[in-house]
Amino acid sequence: MNTFFQLLISALLVSSLYTLVAVGFTMYVGVINLANFSHGDTCVMGTFLLMPLFLFATKMGWMTPLAGLVIPALIILVILVTGLWGAGIYKILVKPLLVAPRLILLLASVAAGQVIREAIRVIYPNGSNPQVFPKLLPSGGIELSGLTLGYDSLTIIFLTIACIISLNFIIQRTKMGLAMRAVSQNSDVSQIMGINIEKTIISVFILGSALAGLAGILNGTYYGIAKFNLGSNLGIKGFSAAVIGGLGDFQGAIIGGVLLGFIEVFASAYIPNGSQYQDVFSFLAVIAFLIFRPSGILGEKIFEKV
Amino acid sequence: MLEVNAINVKYGKSIVLQDVSLSIQQGEIVTILGPNGSGKTTLVRSIVGLTPITSGEVNFFGQKLNHLKSHQIVAKGIVVVPEGRGIFPKLSVEDNLRTGYIFLENDRDVMLEKIQDAYTRFPILGQRRNQLAGTLSGGEQTMLAVSRAMMRKPKLLLMDEPSLGLSPKLVQQTFNIIQELHQAGTSILLIEQNAVKALAICDRGYILQKGKVVLNGPKQLLISDERVHKAYFAME
């Protein structure tokens, strides 16, 4: 029974990480119909931004007395920087290509991801090799009848839920969110309702990239390791979760992320030799969805217009 | 108030509008009639900046609109009921109404008041306020589009075939609302295929054919013109 609960917790953790990536991924699809394949690499950018900052703070001796303040501050700093990166990507890459066919923008996003990946490899000391990610979250945990709930795990799950709730609030209850939902449905009509679509799209890029930054940090803390090329895998997982839930659908991305996490963890635990094939299970699920229900769980059926 | 001076619009090599000029004075209803493909919708789109103009200019109260973005143009006091109603199908009825106000004005109380006005005028919208607008019937969607247009007090209202695809009763209702808005002092540019109804309520009109204005003048002149008569009233 205990193994089952341990598995449940790690499934929740993996789900949290995937959901965070998927929610960002699906926002781009929802609002400007773009599969942004640099999203995973933006996450890794967050991972690799945090490490030198952490080392610096440790060197300055801020960590021992003030870790509880400094670490959140560092995380916020990284989120701000990746958010800024999102704005930059919009200005440099997306805006000039907005009128081009979306496929071109998609390829451009693949290129942007490549730039991040190679930049990390070249700039970061010994960047081609895996790096040890610092322990950011408190160790220890709560013991519940032989079951350990680590504080770090709880923090990751809690932060993910907090992010999703605030994002949902932004989308459903604020003027900016209304603009995003309107632009996603009809950008011409949105403009004549007075929506500044450029401002709306740039907010999507800032929000999405900021979210990616946090996802990267949490991913690093969970696995304790940082690799320059983790982004493509992470991006594809986010994409897969978004596809399973229904591309462009916010709630769909959450469902997809959770489902993907559970499939991966439980399949690799209960299928003999499964852990070697962890990725295979999730991609099989995606392929099954693409074949049998390409619009995803929540996505509407795509009708051929006559 | 609105002056369109000799605008040309091209899509690639094909000319959609050729030297189109028109003007609207304060308080007027001006109609633009023309068959499908005559460039009526393109005309609306170029006035609000959704379709770029190749040459010519559009002035609103003496200000040139040519190089402004659409959201800046409508902020000057233009409200549009776009072709095909342009409601947001996956937003609730109430959110659709909000989009007509919130991006250009700031007074929350006024917004809530206007929303209530819409529900008083069309109780069915009030009953369906939380329903997705895409689930409304065609007539209800028109009510929503018109109500959304009335959320702000426009200086100029552009309506692109508001009566298209409506039952005769709803057409009448829509035209009643247009007249009501006109009596309240709104200037209206009405694009229509329903020439009988449009000519009945307008002050002046323009006939557009293959991207050119072939005739313009006060409504009596248009009604008595033989070509107009042949094209639009022959069946009556």
ipTM of the complex: 0.93
Q: Sort A125 into a burial class: Cβ within 10 Å, 0-12 / 13-18 / 19+.
A: exposed
With CA atoms as reference, the chain A residue closest to B105 would be A194
User: B11 in contact with A at a CB cutoff of 8 Å?
Assistant: no
Measure CB to CB from residue A188 to each of B50, B89, B90 and give the nearest one.
B50
Tell me the C-alpha distance between B207 and B226, whole Å.
13
Which residues lie closer than 8 Å to A192 by C-beta, 6 or more apart? B48, B50, B70, B71, B74, B80, B82, B86
| Tens-digit pLDDT profile for residues B141-155 | 999 999 999 999 889
Tell me the C-alpha distance between A105 and A96, whole Å.
10
Structure-model confidence comparison of residues A64 and B105, the more confident one:
B105
The pLDDT score that the predictor gives to residue A66 is 76
The pLDDT score that the predictor gives to residue A61 is 85
The pLDDT score that the predictor gives to residue A63 is 81
As beta bridge partners, residue B183 has none
H/E stretch holding B5: strand B2-11
The pLDDT score that the predictor gives to residue A301 is 52
With CA atoms as reference, the chain A residue closest to B96 would be A182
Taking only residues 122 to 151 of chain B, the set having a beta carbon closer than 8 angstroms to any beta carbon of chain A reads 148
A180 CA: distance to closest CA in chain B (Å): 11
The pLDDT score that the predictor gives to residue A304 is 38
Query: What single-letter DSSP state applies at residue B203?
Result: S
Mean pLDDT check: name the lowest of A248-257, B19-28, B208-217, B221-230: B221-230
Tell me the C-alpha distance between B202 and B32, whole Å.
10
The pLDDT score that the predictor gives to residue A294 is 87
pLDDT at B13 over 90: no
| Tens-digit pLDDT profile for residues B152-199 | 988 999 999 988 888 888 889 889 989 998 998 899 999 988 888 898
- The residue type of B86 is G
The pLDDT score that the predictor gives to residue A196 is 96
What the block records as the tokens of A279 is 């990725």
Which residues lie closer than 8 Å to A30 by C-beta, 6 or more apart? A180, A184, A248, A249, A250
Total residue count of chain A as it appears in this document = 306
> What are the backbone angles phi and psi of residue B128, rounded to the nearest 5°?
-110, 25
Q: How far is CA B109 from CA A220, B77, B151, in A?
A: 47, 20, 12
User: A98 in contact with B at a CB cutoff of 8 Å?
Assistant: no
Question: Cα A125 vs. chain centroid, distance in angstroms?
Answer: 25
As beta bridge partners, residue B217 has B205
The pLDDT score that the predictor gives to residue A305 is 36
Tell me the C-alpha distance between B4 and A290, whole Å.
51
The residue-averaged pLDDT of B201-222 equals 91
The pLDDT score that the predictor gives to residue A262 is 95
First to last CA, chain A: 55
For B121-164, give the secondary structure using H, E and C: HCHHHHHCCCCEHHHCCHHHHHHHHHHHHCCCCCCEEEEECCCC
B50 with A191: Cβ contact below 8 A: yes
Query: Which of A99, A174, A176, A193 best tests the B interface by mutation, with the highest count of B CBs <10 A?
Result: A193
Residues of chain A found within 8 Å of residue B148, distances taken between Cβ atoms: 193
The tens-digit pLDDT sequence of chain A (306 residues) is 678 888 999 999 999 999 999 999 999 999 989 999 999 999 999 999 999 999 999 998 888 777 788 999 999 999 999 999 999 999 999 999 988 999 999 999 999 999 999 999 999 999 999 999 998 888 888 887 777 888 989 999 999 999 999 999 999 999 999 999 999 999 999 999 999 999 999 999 999 999 999 999 999 999 999 999 999 899 999 999 999 999 888 999 999 999 999 999 999 998 888 888 888 888 999 999 999 988 888 876 544 333
Q: How far is CA A291 from CA A126, A239, A244, A287, in A?
A: 42, 16, 11, 6
B69 with A194: Cβ contact below 8 A: no
Sign of CA dihedral B50, B52, B53, B58: positive
The pLDDT score that the predictor gives to residue B107 is 94
Q: A204, A119 in Cβ contact below 8 A? A: no
The pLDDT score that the predictor gives to residue A300 is 65
Tell me the C-alpha distance between A268 and A280, whole Å.
10
With CA atoms as reference, the chain B residue closest to A188 would be B50
> What are the backbone angles phi and psi of residue B208, rounded to the nearest 5°?
-105, 130
CB pairs under 8 A between A and B: 63
Tell me the C-alpha distance between B215 and B225, whole Å.
9
No. of H helices and E strands in chain B?
10, 10
Q: Report chain B's mean pLDDT, rounded to a whole number.
A: 91
Q: pLDDT band at B138, cuts 50/70/90?
A: confident
A181 with B95: Cβ contact below 8 A: yes
What the block records as the tokens of A217 is 């940090």
